[in-house]
Amino acid sequence: MSTQSHYDNHLASFYAWMTGNFDAKQQEQEEFFRSKGLVPHSNAVALDLGCGHGLQSISLARLGFTVHAVDFNQHLLSDLNARAKGLTIGTVLANLADVSQYGAEAELIACMGDTLTHLDSPSQAASLLREWAQLLLPGGKLVLSFRDLTEELIGEQRFIPVRAEDDRIHICFLEYHPGHVRVYDQLLEKRQGQWIQKVSSYKKLRLGVESVKTMLEEAGLAVESHDVIARLHYLVATKPTVSAK
């Protein structure tokens, strides 16, 4: 099962439910951007890569950016479009691997909410970070948030209860491999008194936060902040105003 088919055939249909209160989560993201001074300063274009249903896109648009929201899942983009009424957000159905489909000069690029670990390999992540750095205007910012999965959970720690209601339960199971974790999303739904199980899995990269910082530096960016919020590592990196090379 590829990551895209995992989203297309399974996760996208309950992603918004799994995430919980959209407005509260969106406001947390908006507050993060504001606290880091991530507001428009030059061309006011932001790319939100792996935008999902829009937690960062809506926040960036509310802060005054024109947002190009990119994702390979149409269900989540439609959800975002329904929330984006009156905001300057354009959605792009594309795979992040193909920068030519969404590349534009931007003063801010966000790849947040663990999207980075969805990429195929560390070398693909490093090469995309280099391409994204090229798209940034001088002084522009690249913002990442992702989980560092290098430390292995063992035994029952690998079962993560995500959300439960009377008729719906979502549990993640993590299977550790060298270099990646296979994530199983188990969904149980009660229909006409019967529990129906649907399970599907995908691969997440085990990217260490220090190795991602090195990738950012090798892409010519300077890491200016590192915060850990709800077990996600938030990195903000800046493109120098005068090229060091």
Residues pairing with 182 in the sheet: 175, 203
Say how many residues touch ligand SAM, by CB under 6 A.
19
User: Of the ranges 92-100, 149-157, 161-169, 186-194, which one interacts with ligand SAM (CB under 6 A)?
Assistant: 92-100
| Contact status, residue 70 vs residue 51, Cβ threshold 8 Å | yes
User: 13, 11, 56: which is closest to 38 by C-alpha?
Assistant: 56
Nearest residue to 137 via CA among 33, 66, 241: 241
Nearer to ligand SAM, 176 or 234 (CB): 234
Interface map 115-154 toward ligand SAM (x if CB under 6 A): x--x------------------------------------
Closest to ligand SAM by CB, 147 vs 239, is 147
* Window 42-71: residues binding ligand SAM (CB under 6 A): 50-52, 55-56, 71
Do 143 and 234 meet the contact criterion of CB atoms below 8 Å apart?
Answer: yes
Q: What share of the chain is helix, strand, coil (3-state, %, to 5)?
A: 35, 35, 30
Q: Which of 96, 128, 207, 237 binds ligand SAM (CB under 6 A)?
A: 96
Q: Give, rounded to a whole angstrom, the gap between the first and last alpha carbons of the chain.
A: 42
Which CB sits closer to ligand SAM, 71 or 185?
71
Q: Among residues 7, 33, 102, 132, which is the contact residue for ligand SAM, using CB under 6 A? A: 7
Buried-exposed string 169-187: b where 16+ CB fall within 10 A, e elsewhere: bbbeebeeeeebbebbbbb
Q: Which three-class secondary structure state does DSSP give residue 211?
A: helix
Q: Which residue of 1, 34, 90, 97 would you call a contact of ligand SAM, by CB under 6 A?
A: 97
Q: Which of 32, 33, 72, 132 binds ligand SAM (CB under 6 A)?
A: 72
Where do contacts with ligand SAM occur on this chain (CB under 6 A)?
Answer: 3, 7, 50-52, 55-56, 71-73, 76, 95-97, 112-115, 118
